[in-house]
Amino acid sequence: MTGRTHDLAAFTALNYIIATQPLPEMSLATAFVAFSANMIGGLAPDLDQSTSSLYKRVRAGSILGRLVSPLFGGHRFISHSIVGVFLVGFILDFLLGLIGQVLLVDMNLVWWAFMIGFVSHLVMDTFTREGVPWFFPIPWHIGIPPLKALRIKTGGLFEKSLIFPGLILINGLIIYYHYDRYLEFLRYYIK
Ligand SMILES: [Zn+2]
């Protein structure tokens, strides 16, 4: 999947949670930081390759990418697994705890938004040819459907012409069917 598709998939997952789950009150700052964290989480597993779109978004990103990506042990390795999800969740919890001491933002919500993005990335990658080593260190790459030839090619026509517009449609439907929730959200939750 391309970075664009991962961004949109992360947003779709977050959007679905917003529409269907009870939400706590949050400040506008929290909502903004959580939204950004969701986007970053949706791209973070691919920090294991130097060409990741997150590196492209920062200054001197290509140098950073070449330095940092080898630490992950290779592409679609530990960062694309259940062990990786727990590890990242643990480290992020610690880091947000530190940042939370200086920034007045509900870091618990930021953590959830990031993790929703992170997991959405792994789910989306499961539909691609390469599959995902969910059970790392067991080296099996799991994919849906099991037959590799039927899975999606990253950046291919199917992703661009069906998956991406399909996700936009899903977001449209989520908002359409839960429209009053969004009004409520804007009215009561964001202060
Ligand atoms: Zn990936």
pLDDT one digit per residue (tens) for the chain, 191 residues? 899 999 999 999 999 999 999 888 888 899 999 999 999 999 999 999 998 888 988 888 989 999 999 988 888 999 999 999 999 999 999 999 999 999 999 999 999 999 999 999 999 999 999 999 999 999 999 999 999 999 999 989 999 999 999 999 999 999 999 999 888 888 876 55
Q: Is 61 among the domain residues?
A: yes
Distance 42 CA to ligand 1 centre (A): 9
Distance 1 CA to ligand 1 centre (A): 7
Enclosing domain of residue 113:
3-13+45-189
Distance 173 CA to ligand 1 centre (A): 26
Q: Is 26 among the domain residues?
A: no
Q: Is 27 among the domain residues?
A: no
For residue 34, give every residue at least 6 positions away whose Cβ sits within 8 Å of its Cβ, in sequence order, or none: 26, 106, 109, 110, 112, 113
Q: Is 128 among the domain residues?
A: yes
CA dihedral 10→165→3→140, nearest 10 degrees, is 80
Distance 143 CA to ligand 1 centre (A): 13
pTM summary value: 0.93
Residue 108 burial (10 A CB sphere; 0-12, 13-18, 19+)? middle
The residue among 84, 118, 92, 133 whose CA lies nearest residue 6 is 118
Q: Is 36 among the domain residues?
A: no
Q: What is the DSSP letter of 190?
A: B
Distance 22 CA to ligand 1 centre (A): 30
Count: domains in the chain: 1
Q: Is 32 among the domain residues?
A: no
